Each structure stands twice: as structure tokens, then as C-alpha cells.
Amino acid sequence: MHIKVSNVMSIILNGRTTIPKLVREMAYAIFEANKEKMNDANTVINDDIVSRQSIVIREASALGVDKDIQIILIEGADEAVARAKDMFKDKDIKESTEADVFYKKIKEQESNAASGMGMIFG
């Protein structure tokens, strides 16, 4: 079975929940850090292994949440995400209890941005 890259992208960009079996879902973890902890968070984010993963940092308010915190998404290889979890734990930065909600909101923002780029470049 062959899947063209353009077909895979259209499935992902249109927000469909079905992903072809050839596209492997990556592990992810979401952390909440207050502004005072961002220097510690940057130490983890700049780690040689963790920094090679997909990293997204958003203010909670940008995701429609009334909290004065930064939301940090680390998405990638299982081992790297596990390493990030251990390192954040050592820095006393907790994994979010609302990870699924934040993940969905971040992916919606990315999808909306990608759709806008498609309209620009047609």
C-alpha cells in the first residue's frame, strides 16, 4: 500500500482523527511551569536529547486558560519524552493534569496556522 505524502498531510490538516497506519503517533508530555521556573525549564529543553524533539511553549492564556503559567509540550521519541519527564521532575516542574485538553488546543492552533498557510500558497 502506498500513501502519498500529500494524502497524509491532508488527513492531518483537516483534523480527522483517523491516521494511516504508516504514520506513527509520537509520545508526548505536557508540563506547567510558572515564570520563575522557566530558567529551570530551559535547562531541560536545551538538553541534547530533549532538544531534538518537537517542543512547543505557550502561555496558558493563549490557550484560553486563566492561569499565569507556561505550557510546555514535548513530543517525540518515547525515550526522549521519558527523559524530559525525569528531568522536569528533578526541577520540580510538574506534568500537567490537563494534558489532553492542552494537547488538543495546541494541535488545533497548529492546524489553523497550517490551513492559513495553505490559503496563502494555494
Q: Using 50, 70 and 90 to split pLDDT, how confident is the model at 49? A: very high
As a whole number of angstroms, the distance between CA 69 and CA 32 comes to: 6
Secondary structure of residue 118 in the 3-state scheme: helix
- What's the pLDDT at 116? 61
User: What pLDDT does residue 1 have?
Assistant: 42
Domains of the chain: 5-121 (3.30.70.2750)
pLDDT digit string, tens, across residues 53-77: 999 999 999 999 899 999 999 999 9
- Indicate the pTM of the whole model: 0.73
- For the stretch 80-110, pLDDT in tens is 999 999 999 999 999 999 999 999 999 999 8
